[in-house]
Each structure stands twice: as structure tokens, then as C-alpha cells.
Structure 1
Amino acid sequence: MKFGIATFVTDEGIRPTTLATALEERGFDSLFLAEHSHIPVSRETPYPAGGDLPRKYYRTLDPFVALSAAAAVTDRLLLATGVALLVQRDVIHTANEAASLDLLSDGRFALGVGVGWNREEMRNHGTDPRTRGSLLNEQLQALKLLWTEEQAEFHGRHVSFDPVFAWPKPVSEPHPPIYVGGESPAALARLAAYGDAWLPRGGTEPEEIRRVLAALAEQGRPDVPVTIFAADRDESRIEAWADAGVERVTFDLPTLPESETLKVLDELAESARRHAG
């Protein structure tokens, strides 16, 4: 099993370059970075985990910029969004950013996507929360065309553009892998139709992993890679995930200053070594 880190990089915590170097030194294989463009002052949408919204949500660096910095100081680390809020983004700009990062990192980029939860944040981007799922589905289709076609064209309900030249193309073949986040029926349908890998959250039970993988196989999608997103250090659950066919576990790394982060990474690396192989 492989082990990586999922975290928020902010202006108050460890720098992405220092973090990425530390991850490679400790044998982690991946870095998944969260995205929030801003947090509206007036919020009605409750924080999914309950309680007050943590400070890190207010201060998140752009993940594509942070991952580009990480790419410059690493050689092996998989650089991923976890997750990019694509429904709040222009799809052509995102295709260019992702392809550029994939090119500059020599094919080490993966696009983790999700529909998001903060409805006020979405509305500020002109996104209707009620149709964000169908919007994301169209965006994923359009992304693949922009990445792979010499003249890309797409016409859907939410996304539409006439033939365009969109360069650079990614170096990953056929394109950077798309990791679909979520465990809802809509997210799993999205995974089956448009995803290359599944990114379930750390609370997902091993039996649910088995059930979903079996259902994907019945739909003609066997061997879909699974990366657990933002897990804690539950030793028995890690073993059960491995038995269920999970390829990678990313530990949830708190956003802390450099010295404190490095201490936590040492502890997480020890847990990873006990289960690697």
C-alpha cells in the first residue's frame, strides 16, 4: 500500500516547498491539496463536520500554484488536488493550469475533483448549487477534450464552446488521472462515467469499498484505483482497507507551522512504514 498526505496549505503554516521535500524524504508518495477560493462573511451553509469552520479554510493557497512550487523541488511525489472545486472554476483556464502543471512536473499531476459544499462560495462564482453535479459532469467531459484533441469542441447545457486550440497538452497519457471524490450515488455514477480513480473520505468503511468496487466491475470498470482521502491513524482500519483493495491512504495532516508539521510527519511516516508493501 502507498501512503500520502492530504492537507490545507495556508499562509500561516508550513510552506509547500518545505512540505513537499519533507514528504519525499520520509517516503510518502503523494500530496493532495485542498481548495477554497474564499469564504463568504455571511454563511448559511453549515460546516459538514459540525461546529465552527476551521481557520485553515479562510487562508488556503491556490492548490495549482502551491503544487507547482512543490513540483520544482521534488522528483517522485504525485501532486494532486484534493479536491479542486471545479464547479467554481472556468473549465478552459483549469485545463490550461492542469496541463501546464502536468508538463512541468513530468507527468506527476492528478486532478481530484468534488462538487463542494459551501453554497455561498459557489454563488459568488456564479454557480447554481442545485445544478453543480450536472455542471461538474460536463466540465469533466470538456476537460478531457481540451487535453486530448487538437481542436476541442463541446456543447452542453452548462458548458459550451466552439472549436478551440488549447495548448500545452499534458504529458500524462491519455491525460492526468481524474480522482472523483465522494460516496453519494451521484458521485459514484460520476466515477463510473468519467473518473479514473476513486477518492472516498477517511470515514468510508472497508465493506463500502468492496461494494463499490464490485459494482464498478459489473459496470465494466474493474480495477479502479482507490485512494482514501484524509484518513486518521486507525491501524486496524488501514489493514482492512488494504484487504478491500485500497491502493493508497492519505493521512489528514493538520495545518501547523514548520517545526510542528515535521514532528507530525515523522509520526505519520512511522505508521506508514508499518503498513507499506
Structure 2
Amino acid sequence: MAASFNDALSSILGWVSIACWIVVYSPQIYENYSLQSGEGLSLIFVYVWLLGDITNMTGAILAGLLPTVIILGVYYTLCDLILLFQVYYYRWKARKNSVTEGETTPLLNTVNNHQNKDEPLSSTQKTVIRYVGALLFVVIIGVLAWWISSNIEIPEKPPKHRSSSLTWAVQILGWTSAICYLGSRIPQIIKNFGTRCEGLAPALFFFSILGNATYSLSICVKSMEREYLITNASWLAGSALTIFLDLVVLSQFSYFRYMAIKRVQAVLPLESSS
């Protein structure tokens, strides 16, 4: 009974994680489109993340994982390429416009275009409501996907025997992917000190944290046996440590937003007195 409950809970968490990863890129893609700029992103961040997705997808193929997992790996890779395309396209477009108009315009505004300076509290409340709604959405989608999958009978295939060399190859790819996911955050964190996180969508890192947390929990809930944890160690390490770095990015968002509000509050009395 306990085992079946753990399996069901692990499956639900896994589907919630997949739902998070499906939507994780969309906030940043939309942010780039809205600003007509991709300068909030570190190119090294995207390139290293792309390498992590490619190695992760290759490991899934060699390990003979479910087709859905492989399809998701392809989807992640395509999303990385879309982000890279946006950055280079909007840079080309900005250069073209500067030549046409005879002047250059800043790629990023000092104040976020989507934030009303006069209503910081209202903006914060809307953000909280939006994120709570997004959280409920991915949880509902994850549970619904689990329910559908649990009611579809799929014939079980006998596990394929892996050679020791293939096992090592999968492990190496898994650890390479984990290192890439971790390393990708460092250049983005450094870039944020210069851009003050402008042009960067916090939802990207919010969904990344939620996706990694539910993925790690899905592994641990399924089994805490030593051999099982060692087999999944690279994915666990990559997910758990990436959460920490994503929290650093979100803390940067909070800090720079707080400082922006303080600057606005300091300027408003001066404007009203004049």
C-alpha cells in the first residue's frame, strides 16, 4: 500500500515537474518580445543551458527512456534556440534602426516598462496573484496528466540489459548536464549586477525552481535505496543545487526592485514640492 502510494505521489510530482518545464521558457520569450530586446539574458547562460539540454537529451536517448522524455528534451533545445535567435535578431534590429534614425536608443530602460512607478504596491499584489495562479495551473495540469496516464494501459516492456560502457556513458552525460545547468547560472548572476535584472523574466527562474524541486522530490519519494539514489545522483545534484542558484537570482530581483521603489519614493516628494 505504501509502495503504491509512493509510486503515485512520485508520478504526480514528476508530471507537475514536466508541466513546469513546458512553460518555463515562455515568460522570457514573451519578455524579449515585449521589450524587443534580449539583452537581459547572458548569452553564456543560454549557450551553457543549451549544452546541458543537449547532453540531457542524449543521455535520455542512450538510456532508452520514454519517448515523452526524449520529446521534451527536443522541446527544451528548441526553446533555447528561440531565445538565442531573439537575442541576435533584436540586436540586428537595433543596429539597423540606429543606422536608419541616425541615433541609438538604449536596449533596456532604467525602469521596467511594465511597472507603474506610482503604483509599486499594486504591481506587487498583481505579481503575487499571477504567480499563485501559475502555481495552481501547473499543479492542476500535473495532476490531470497523472490521472490520464494512470488510466491508460501501457504494456510494460522488459528492461533492456545495458553494457557497462553504455551505463558509464549515460552517467557521464548526466553529470555533464548537471554541471552545465549549474554553471549556466553564474554568468547570469554576474550580468544581473550590471543590468539590475532588467529585461529578465523572474517567472523563468520561479518555474525552474518549482520544476527542479518537484523533480527531485519525485525521485526521493519513489525510493530512498542507496543504489537507486546513486543511479540518479547526477540528476538530483543538478536539480537541488540549481534551485539554490535560482534563488540567488530571485533575491537579486527582489533587491533591485526594492532599490528602484526606494529611488522612486525619494524622487516623488521632490517633484511634488516643485
User: Normalised by the size of structure 2, how large is the TM-score?
Assistant: 0.25
More strand by share: 1
Comparing both chains, which one has the higher relative contact order based on Cα–Cα distances under 8 Å and sequence gaps of 6 or more? 2
User: Normalised by the size of structure 1, how large is the TM-score?
Assistant: 0.25
